[in-house]
Structure 1
Amino acid sequence: MTASPAPVVILVAPQLGENIGMVARAMANFGLSELRLVNPRDGWPSEKALSAASGADWVVEGARVYGSTAEAIADLGVVLATTARPREMAKPVLDPQAAAERLAGRIDAGETAGILFGGERAGLDNDDVALADAVITFPTAPEFASLNLAQSVLLTGYEWFRTRGLEGGRPRQAAPPLAPKADLQRLFEHLESELDAAGFLFPPEKRPTMVRNLRTIFLKADLTDQEVRSLRGVVRALSELKQRRGTDTN
């Protein structure tokens, strides 16, 4: 099966092979073909997933397994995370239609993109959501907002397919390519290492929240590869200045 450029579907800690198969079926319904799995609980490959896919075998058989969410998104330019729960992070919140339009714009500009979906029991944790550029929430009845994994993928896939149909896949104005998530991760680690050395990320119990908030600031900026390189140069220059001043003092 061949497909037009489309977002990657990333399942983080999925539990049952049957649910992965139903996700594959939903993906195939709406032209999504690339599936990535982060630490599937019951292992991989899965005969139950193939059975539940109801013919969408190419999605299941092409699925790739990763050891962490960061590894699964390392080569992607833009990543959105699905969540129904309010978070402490100040990230843009999109409904499925707005998310599909944003993804279409980036993909038409030559970017790679992905959508994160959490496990069946608890969804994505804060550290996973912190890696995303924005979050997708589904408008549901407030008295019963829970969606299962395949439903979430189905709704997102439908809006993607509908957006591509309405737009006809027409090229949009090219935008500068976003930095791959692996390069952003290296920037974050570089900055956080220097902030640890400077005593900024203190006290220890507040460090995880401070780190997530800092990462959110940069992720909202849609940084290009050149901008990431410039920021790493800034961090390096400040670190070297601090070292020189320390040497001069001694």
Structure 2
Amino acid sequence: MAGTDKQRTMMNEGPAIILVEPQLPENIGMVARAMANFGLGELRLVNPREAFPSDKARSAASKADHIIDGAVLYDDLPSALADLSFVYATTARERDGFKQVRGPVEAGRILRHKFKSGEKTGIMFGRERVGLKNDEVSLADELVTFPVNPAFASLNIAQAVLLMSYEWMKSGLEHETDTVFRGPELEPANKEYLHGFFNHLEEALDTRGYFRPEARKEVMVNNLRAVLTRPGFAEPEVRLLRGVLTSLDYFSPKNPRGAGAPEGRARVHTSAPDAENTADNEPPQD
């Protein structure tokens, strides 16, 4: 499956997800998938309408089989909550009562804090059509609701679980703007290397008659340099761009890739540090 790395340890922790009388096995499967995406592992089902587990649920889980296989069924909600010390109830509508209402970001942080303290916590979600009843909400410690369009506030149960699962995962990052995977950290190219690229590009464009009229050449060159200094290119990126220019120096529609460089044709760019010794700058070969 795309995005799945079997070499990594499966995250499997955090609050229990409690679904109260879920109707469709496909929704249960999508809930399991959302949980697995964000490292949650414990699924509790209170009186599901259809037999569980089922092929429909397993198929919708998209290989989150450990969630499906580990799910526990309960006859009533109090039994499903009995061993938990703190529970959120999710709701899409305003409720009467005295319970604290949190947003998902704050709720995720509170759950993380309680998890680190060794508390067992849970988040309960209601039926697809009507959500949680008032007597079920009364069993929760606090409520969590999402900042949605008030005129269209109803969420699919799997969507609601995914949002809370995401906030759970995010609350465990060192910085909430982090992500699990990062690209390579590239050092910015020094000015000598970058200026070599500018000279290479200027000569290539000059050879092809880009700077017209001639009187505007200086302005056009300055504009190009202003644009190309904005991204903060790293050295490998500059090598890549110079490789593109070198290919244009060697090949044209009359001499396409594979035809070989024209006899006696010289390169038109000015060299920069290591440019001539870099494979990225060599013309393509058969």
TM-score, normalised with respect to structure 2: 0.57
Match of 2:166 among 151, 158, 173: 158
- Residue 14 of structure 1 corresponds to 22
Give the partner amino acid of 2:32: A
Partner residue, 1:57: 65
In structure 2, the residue matched to 1:143 is: 151
- Between the aligned partners of 1:107 and 1:7, the Cα distance in structure 2 is 8
Could you tell me which of 82, 96, 101 is aligned with 1:74?
Answer: 82
Partner of 1:83: 91
SS in structure 2 opposite 1:150? helix
Separation (CA, whole Å) in 2 of partners of 1:60 and 1:48: 11
- Work out whether residues 13 and 42 of structure 2, in 8 Å CA contact, stay in contact via their aligned partners in 1: no
**Equivalent-residue separation in structure 1 for 2:150 and 2:68 (angstroms):** 33
* Secondary structure of the structure 1 residue equivalent to 2:98: coil
Write the distance in 2 (CA, Å) between the matches of 1:75 and 1:2. 24
In 2, distance between residues paired with 1:4 and 1:62?
11
Normalising to structure 1: TM-score of the pair? 0.65
- Alignment correspondent of 1:227: none
Deviation digits for residues 216-237 of structure 1, max 9, x if unmatched? xxxxxxxxxxxxxxxxxxxxxx
Q: 2: CA distance between counterparts of 1:75 and 1:150?
A: 24
Q: Which contiguous aligned blocks of 4+ residues in structure 1 show a shift greater than 4 angstroms?
A: none
Counting matched residue pairs gives 168
Structure 2 residue runs without a partner (length 5+):
1-8, 177-286
Question: Amino acid of the residue matched to residue 134 of structure 1?
Answer: E
1:59 counterpart SS class: helix
Quote the residue 2:137 is aligned against.
129
1:81 aligned counterpart, secondary structure: strand
Q: Larger % of helix: which?
A: 1
Task: Determine whether 1:96 maps to 2:104.
Answer: yes
Higher relative contact order (CA 8 A, sep 6+): 1
Distance 1:93 1:103, change over 3 A: same
| Deviation sequence 1:6-57 (CA, Å, 0-9, x none) | 0000000000000000000000000001100000011222111001000101
CA distance in 1, matches of 2:82, 2:104: 23
